Every structure is written in structure tokens, then in C-alpha cells.
Amino acid sequence: MATDLRSARRAQNWGRLFIYGSLAAMAAFYLMPLWVMIVTSLKSLDEIYSGSFIGLPKAVTFDAWAKAWGTACIGTKCEGLKPYFVNSLVMVIPAVILSSGIGAINGYVLTKWRFKGSNIVFGMLLFGCFLPFQAVILPMAQVLGRLGLSGTIPGLVLVHTVYGIAFTTLFFRNYFITIPDELTKAAQIDGAGFFRIFFSIMLPAALPIIVVSCIWQFTQIWNDFLFGVSFTAGDSTPVTVALNNIVNVTMGRKQYNVDMASAMIAAIPTLVVYVVAGRYFVRGLTAGAVKG
Amino acid sequence: MQKPISLKDRLAAWLPQLVLTPSILAVFVGVYLFIAWTAVISFSSSKMLPRYDFVGLEQYIRLWSTPRWITAVENLFLFTVLFLAITIAVGLFMAILLDQKVRAEGVLRAVYLYPMALSFIVTGTAWKWILNPSLGIQKVVNDLGWHSFVFDWITRPEFAIYCVVIAAVWQSTGFAMAIFLAGLRGIDNSIIKAAQIEGASLTRIYLSIIVPMLRPAFLSVIVLLSYISIKSFDLVLALTNAGPGSATEMPSTFMFSATFRRNQMGVGAASAMMMLMTVAAIIIPYLYSELKEDRNGH
Amino acid sequence: MATLEIDRVKKSYGQMDVLKEVSISVGDGDFLVLLGPSGCGKSTLLNMIAGLEDITSGQIRISGDVVNDLSPKDRDIAMVFQSYALYPTMTVRQNIEFGMKIRGVPPEARAKATKAAADMLQMGHLLDRKPSQLSGGQRQRVAMGRAIVREPKLFLFDEPLSNLDAKLRVDMRTEIKRLHQRLGTTIVYVTHDQIEAMTLATRIAVMKDGVVQHFGPPQEVYDRPANTYVARFVGSPAMNIIPASLQVGADGLAEAVVSLPSGEARIAGIPLSAAALKSHAGQKVLLGIRPEHFSLTSGPGLSVHIDVVEPTGPDTLAVFAMGGTEVIARLEPFAAAAGDRLTLAVKQEKVVVFDASSETRLD
């Protein structure tokens, strides 16, 4: 009996070792690219070409960061990523607010004010979550051109808002459906109208999903490349497009440290959001898959 | 005796629909009308500018006789199969391990998931550097003393697509893990206890009871990863730029270059329609089943 | 304070009729309970009184005014919901004052009304908490407080006690009864619990499939149910429904013949009008006998074989076969044991007779 227990415990110990060993190995694999990006961006070009890849830099230098931010050449201009970073910010803030706001009110109507055909409307909106954007970029380019918005930030804001509505509506609809309808009824009897109920009761109760929606939209829009590269050029491109240009169009000796610093600069906003509010980010990710 | 109804009340009755109208219009135009528009172009002879004539299936025939497109479709197929298989296997493995009441679960989860927060362009840039044969992983292993080690897939047309798979798996495993973990956490603990009392081993419990119960999670992961793989565009562009040559061409990159670089708008539209139909074939049944469950649930 | 008239009210969704021409009217200060199983249309009817659902046809009048097209806020009603429906982000005080604020009641008056309601419901100490910090019973109190401060013509309650545990439910039931006695306001109360209906109501409307089966005072619903459905729904254990045949007895009164395992037995002296007796004599009928109307007797009676006994404390339920069906009698504790052969008497003046095919009561 005693030996049985002991061997069982030993098997358990091996099991725990296997679990932690596997988890640690995978963690190392998932962290490795980030590590490589950071150390490479802090090395001088000579050190990189001398064959230092994964090790710590011998001498830490922020030259690559400074260059990536302020003086790297994109096309014919050598102003670094800074203007494009600003472009992305100017694009992402209104697009996030608009699409989340519209999604909130849509979700409210689709759960608390259902009408004949509201389910069909929701189904139609939902397909927008999974639209391969290649199927709409041609007409969108035409329409943006006619509206005089092609190649502009407001044009991108419009595009991201329109195609963001599907996801934000899904978020809010799935959230509001868990709030009992009786709440709306009670408010109606209290004399509150459509907007009053929305602003005084629904919206304050929806704080978590507002965060989820904003984070999701922020990440999606910041990371977008297809719309940026299709509808903008030159000065008005977002940071992802500029990053791709830096990496692909450098002449002469390839400046890997600047590439990595640029990649880090483009990644930092979404990484910060992820670190600060990872819980909400995960909720957004799984919302498309697991209902409620 | 009937009290009069105010104009305000009459208006209020229509308010919900009124508020929803702009969104319906935007989505109707931005999604459905634009799809129709793309379809129209795919049946026209459009090249650099859209032309609204009708040439039947000519563009589709041209598309399917373009070797680049065939490569793209083959790549997509290979990529999707590998990407799904590896991501699901690793993601499920991770989720099961994390579900064993491990310490620092939160930190580990965050580590596995952070790539999802990155732009595919960033991922592509980083992996391009890592996979660089003269300065990246190959060099590190060579320097460690294994001089014959070769890892130059990114420069070789027949292997470059596997590099895309590696980077895509790296980026998406955390997502699969998160959904599987949510599924595992939703399983009633007493089922596991009941199986343990019957004498089933842990491996047995997972294989015969728990994994089959994760069916909905599998469905979600498969559908959403397929969708990611069909539209994957940024990653290929940043990592291999569809090369070497056209070795890692994908339908998404083909569509883009046909339309914006090679002035073959008609062919581009036809390829976009092919992509749309593939996505629709996967997504519409999925949405339908999800919505139907939803309706039963309420 | 108000009267309520529901006049041939119908509700249909497309082809489906949820309510079929319901007519109910109650006077000032009445406590009307709409009683029925889920899906019988009782909540739909309540929502229509509140103005939360449209009326397909017919009229609803509060104090004589047609309210069909009035929005909820203009009907001078207050409603308490099953899920309490407290606004989750507001404190108890804000919950109670929300409606008054919308109606533009000045702050001092709001505070006064809130205090009065809080005193009445003994929840003054809860005013600054959020709903999530309250127990089920406390939430229910807040929901009632929110209704009271409206001083409405009509209180509507939608299954307000269903989410509470058994003990609390009894306490809150008393609380609601006390509230009604103190305020004297007309109340419409929806429930599927027949005990709540019996204890609270001055008028009960038993509903099934969108039709009112019986509308009357509780004791009438209990003693002389309009049909076998009502008979089975009200009372626990339910009224026994026993197949029998009807005859004219020696005294000229109605007499029922029921089959027992030991042979046939007669129950004489059943109250039935001459007309009903004449039209149904010699026919199959259904007898309705409440369990408590059986008693042990040493004289002549029904000789039964006890199958199962269920002691409940105050009395013992004895199960036996009669008329080819299972019958329950409520007897003294220890009066019966499984396997006993007993002779039971029936309070014949309490026996109700139903038509065998339509299952409606014969008078």
C-alpha cells in the first residue's frame, strides 16, 4: 500500500515536471521573437553583422530607435515613422469612438426594441464580421474617389467605421441580451423614453463591454494593413504601411536594427493596451466564437 | 373617452427602427451592394479602370488559366491544412496543460496570447529577421557548433510557404488556446470526478470524455482559423512578399497585385469573388447554426 | 384608486391567438390574481394592462378611461417584476427616485416620498447601497418601494415572489397583503402558485391557453370550481376527480354510484339543481371531492383499501383506488396505514359534479 502510494506520487511528480517543462518551453518559443526584436533594435549595425543575433547587446544604443522614429527614409521622405504614427492615431481614435458608439445603440435596439425582421437585420450585419475585404475594396476605392476622400484619413475613418459596425454590434448585442428585458419595461413605466433608457440605464451597465469593444476596435484598426495600403499613399498612410515600406524598400546594407525598432514602434500601442487590459482583449477575441 | 395620443408618442414608436437605419444602410451599401458591384466587374472586361460591359465568364476562365492563381490556390490549401492542424493541436495541448491548476497561469496565458495583439506586418517583419539564414536562427545554431545545420526555407521556393505557416501558427495559437480553455472551464467538474471514481486514467478521461465535449469550441476554432487563413494577406506580404518568385502567392495577395499592380481589375474581381464564395461556404452555415441555437436559447 | 375593466381583449401573434376574448372586471381596492401555468397568457395580459404590449382587439379601461393607446407612463400604474428589474448601476435611492425625477418632482418632495416608502418597508438603512449588495428579499422590497412612491391607481405584480426561497416567499406574501390592506390600492398580481392566489386575492382569474377558466372570489374557486381543470389546479393535493354515474336517489336528490374494488358504493344527498339532475340522471359524470371531505366513520360508508400513506405532520394523506382512479383523502395523523381496510364517509354537501364530456361543473 505504502509503495503504491509512493510510486503514484512519483508518477505525479513526473507529470508535474512534464507539465511545467512543456509550458516553459512553449513560453520561451512565444517570447523569442519579441526578445529578438528588442535586443536587435538596441544593437549597432556592426554588432549585428558581426553575428550577434539572440544575445544581449554588448553596448546598448538607441540610435536605431531614434532613426526609426525620426529620420528613416520612406519613399523619398526621410522623416521616420513619426508622421505615420500620428496618422494612425488620428485615424484610430475617431474610428473607435464612432464604431463602438454605433454598435452600442445597434445592440440596444436589437435586444430591447425588437421588431419584425430584427433577427434578419442582425444576421445581415453579422456576415459583415466575416467579410473578406477583398470583395469590397474595388467598389470602396471608387466610392472614396467620388466622395473626394480617397487617400485621406477621414476616408479611412469612414471605411473602418462601416466595417467595424458588424463586430461592435455583435459585442453589444450579446451583452445586452443578458440584461433582463424587465429592466427596460420598468424604466418605461417610470416614464423613461428610448434615449433616456439607453443613456441612464443601459450604457452605465455596459461598461465592461464598452472596454472590450474599444480595445478590439483599437487593435483591429491600428493593425490594419489592407485598407491602408489600398486606399492611401504617400503622406497619409498609416503606420503599418509605413513599416512595411521601411522594411522592404531600404537600399544598401540592410538596417535590421532600424527594422526591428520600427516594428516595435508600430507594435507598442497595441502591446500596451494588451498588457493593461488583456482580460478585455481576450473577451473580445472569444466573443466571435463563444456566445454571451 | 379615449385620450389623444401625442405626436411625440407616435414618433417614439418608430424611433428604434429609425436609429438603426443608418447602420443598415451603411452595411447594405458597404457589404452587399459592394459585393454585387465586385461581381459585376468580374463579369466585365475591366482592366485599369472599371468598365461596365458584359463578357460572361471570360475573367474567371482567364483567372483559372493563370499559373500564379493555381499556385495561390494550392498554397492556400496547403497553408490552411497545416496552419489549422498545428494551431489546433498546440492550442489544445496548451489549454489542457493550463487547466491542470498550474501556477502563474495568468502570466503564461498572457505570454501565449500576446502575438494576437500584434499586427501581421510586425509579425512578418520579426520572423523575416529570425528566419534570415545568414544572420538568424541558422547562424545561431551554426555558431553553437552544429556547422552543417541549414535552415534557409525562406529563400527556397519549395519551402517558403512553411515559413508562413510557422509565423501564422506563432501568431494564432494563443487564440485557439483561449477558446479551448474557455471550453474546458465550462465543463462540469463532477463529470471528471465521476469518471475518476470509475477508475479512468487522466489521459483516458481527456481523450474519451473531455475532448468530445469540446465540439463547439472545435467548430469555432476551425471556422475562425479558416477565415484567418483565407484572408491572410499582410503576413505573406511582410514575410515573403509572395516570393521567392511567386512561391508563396496566396489568393489575397494575387487579388491585390492583379488589381492594383498589374491593371487586371476584371481578373482581380473574379479572384475576390472566388475568395468570397469560399468564405461564405464556411461562414454562412456556421452563423446559421449559431443563430438557431441562440433562438432556441431564448 | 381605480376600477379595472378588461373587455373582450384579444392578443394574437400572426395566426396564433395568445389571448382569446378575455373579459374581467374588478372594483376599486380589489386584489385580482391572474393564476395559471406558464404560457397561459397571464403575463401577456399583465403586460397589456401596463401598456408594454399592444392589444389586438378589445378594450382595457382604468377608472373608466380607455387606455389601449396610452404609453405606460401615462397609465398611472406601477409594476413589480419577477427579476426585480432594479437599475444595476444606481443606488437604491436613485432607483426609487428615477421615475419621480423623470416626472419632474422637485428634490424635497422626492426625498420625502423616498423616506416614507423606506419607512413603510423598513429599508432606510439600504438606501445608499447598490442592488448587487442586497439579498433577494431586500431587492424585492426596493422594487416595491419604487412602485409605492408613484402612488399609482393600479399596482401590477408579475410573479414577484418566484425568485425567493420558500421561507422568504411566505414572509413577503404577508408583506404584500399588509401593503394592500394599508394602501387599499387596486392590485393585479400574476402567479402560477395557487397558494399565493388563495391567500392574497379578493378575485382570482384562473387561466389556461389564453382563456379565463374561472373568475370569482377565492373561496368560490376552491369550493365550486368551474371545471375539472380549475379543480385540479387549485388546492394541494388537488381535488379528486372520480368517474361515477348519476342517479335519482330515494329522497329525490342526486345520488352517485362509484365503483370500488369491493363492489359498488353510493354517495347520496349531493346538491344539484333539479334541472341538472333531470338532464344527467342515468349518465356518466365526474365527481369532484376535496381530500379533506373524506373522514373515517364507524357507520356505513365507502369501504376502501389503503395503498400508500403520506404523513405531512398536521394530517395524513391516504391514497386508495376508487372509480378506477387514484384518490387522496386527508385524515388525522395515524388514522391509516398502508394495507388497511377502512370505511370512509364523504361530506356529500361539498361534492361537486362535472359533466363527463365537457368537464364543466353542473349546478
User: What is the domain partition of chain B in residue ranges?
Assistant: 64-288
Q: What is the pLDDT of residue B232?
A: 84
Q: What is the pLDDT of residue B140?
A: 79
Question: What would the 3-class secondary structure string for chain B be?
Answer: CCCCCCHHHHHHHHHHHHHHHHHHHHHHHHHHHHHHHHHHHHCCCCCCCCCCCCCCCHHHHHHHCCHHHHHHHHHHHHHHHHHHHHHHHHHHHHHHHHCCCCCCHHHHHHHHHHHHHCCHHHHHHHHHHHCCCCCCHHHHHHHCCCCCCCCCHHHCCCCHHHHHHHHHHHHHHHHHHHHHHHHHHCCCHHHHHHHHHCCCCHHHHHHHHHHHHCHHHHHHHHHHHHHHHHHCCHHHHHHCCCCCCCCCCCHHHHHHHHHHCCCCHHHHHHHHHHHHHHHHHHHHHHHHHHHHHHHHHC
Residue type, B117: A
- Average pLDDT of span A180-199: 91
pLDDT of residue B1 exceeding 50: no
- CA-based nearest residue to B160, from B242, B283, B266: B242
Tell me the chain B residues in contact with residue A33 when contact means C-beta distances shorter than 8 Å: 115, 123, 126-127, 130, 170
In terms of CA atoms, which chain C residue is nearest residue A198?
C87
Residue A56's pLDDT band, with cuts at 50, 70 and 90, is confident
Residue from the list B2, B9, B12 with its beta carbon closest to the beta carbon of C66: B2
Coil vs helix vs strand at A200: helix
Of residues A71 and C350, more confidence is placed in: C350
Residue B2's pLDDT band, with cuts at 50, 70 and 90, is very low
Residue from the list C65, C71, C74 with its beta carbon closest to the beta carbon of B1: C65
Residue from the list C81, C87, C103 with its beta carbon closest to the beta carbon of A191: C103
Mean pLDDT of chain B: 86
In terms of CA atoms, which chain C residue is nearest residue B1?
C65
Instruction: Give A185's Cβ-side CA count (13 Å radius).
Output: 28
Q: What is the pLDDT of residue C1?
A: 59
Q: Which of the other chains make 3 or more beta carbon contacts under 8 angstroms with chain C?
A: A, B
pLDDT of residue A43 exceeding 60: yes
- How deeply is C101 buried, as exposed, middle or buried, from its count of CB atoms within 10 A (0-12, 13-18, 19+)? middle
Q: What is the pLDDT of residue A290?
A: 44
Q: At what angle do helices A82-112 and A256-287 cross, to 10 degrees?
A: 0
Q: Would the CB atoms of C79 and A180 count as touching at under 8 Å? A: no
| B218 in reach of chain A (CB within 8 A) | no
CA distances from C350 to C215, C267, C292, C331, C358 (A): 20, 12, 10, 17, 21
Tell me the chain A residues in contact with residue C95 when contact means C-beta distances shorter than 8 Å: none
Q: What is the pLDDT of residue C131?
A: 92
- CA-based nearest residue to C50, from C79, C28, C17, C27: C79
Q: What is the pLDDT of residue C221?
A: 95
Q: Would the CB atoms of C52 and A191 count as touching at under 8 Å? A: no
pLDDT of residue A99 exceeding 90: yes
- CA-based nearest residue to C287, from C245, C241, C326: C241
Q: Would the CB atoms of C71 and B1 count as touching at under 8 Å? A: no
Pairing of strands C31-35, C203-208: parallel
Q: Which of the other chains make 3 or more beta carbon contacts under 8 angstroms with chain A?
A: B, C
Tell me the chain A residues in contact with residue B33 when contact means C-beta distances shorter than 8 Å: 139
For an interface test with C, which of A175, A182, A210 has the most C Cβ atoms less than 10 Å from its Cβ? A182
Q: Which of A73-77, B126-130, C73-77, C291-295 has the highest mean pLDDT?
A: C291-295
Q: What is the pLDDT of residue B189?
A: 79
Q: What is the pLDDT of residue A129?
A: 82
CA C273 – CA C258 distance, rounded (Å): 20
Strand partners, C244: C285
Residue B293's pLDDT band, with cuts at 50, 70 and 90, is low
pLDDT of residue A287 exceeding 70: no
Residue C335 is given by DSSP the state: S
Tell me the chain B residues in contact with residue A267 when contact means C-beta distances shorter than 8 Å: 118-119, 122
- Range with the poorest average pLDDT among A47-61, A215-229, C28-42, C271-285: A47-61
Locate C18 and state its grid cell.
Answer: 395568445
Mean pLDDT of chain A: 87
Q: What is the pLDDT of residue A5?
A: 63
Q: What is the pLDDT of residue A266?
A: 94
Residue A251's pLDDT band, with cuts at 50, 70 and 90, is low
- Average pLDDT of span B232-236: 88
Residue A289's pLDDT band, with cuts at 50, 70 and 90, is low
- Average pLDDT of span B206-212: 85
- Average pLDDT of span A63-80: 84
pLDDT of residue A291 exceeding 60: no
Tell me the chain C residues in contact with residue B3 when contact means C-beta distances shorter than 8 Å: 65-67, 69-70, 74
- Average pLDDT of span A35-57: 84
Give me the residues of chain C with pLDDT under 70, please.
Answer: 1
Of residues B2 and B140, more confidence is placed in: B140
For an interface test with A, which of B15, B20, B230 has the most A Cβ atoms less than 10 Å from its Cβ? B20
pLDDT of residue B276 exceeding 50: yes
pLDDT of residue B297 exceeding 50: no
For an interface test with C, which of A190, A194, A195, A207 has the most C Cβ atoms less than 10 Å from its Cβ? A190
Q: Would the CB atoms of C85 and A191 count as touching at under 8 Å? A: no
Residue B136's pLDDT band, with cuts at 50, 70 and 90, is confident
Q: What is the pLDDT of residue B4?
A: 53
CA A181 – CA A265 distance, rounded (Å): 46
Q: Decide which of 1.10.3720.10, 1.10.287.1080, 3.30.70.20, 1.10.3470.10 is the CATH code for B64-288.
A: 1.10.3720.10
pLDDT of residue A250 exceeding 70: no
Q: Would the CB atoms of A191 and C77 count as touching at under 8 Å? A: no
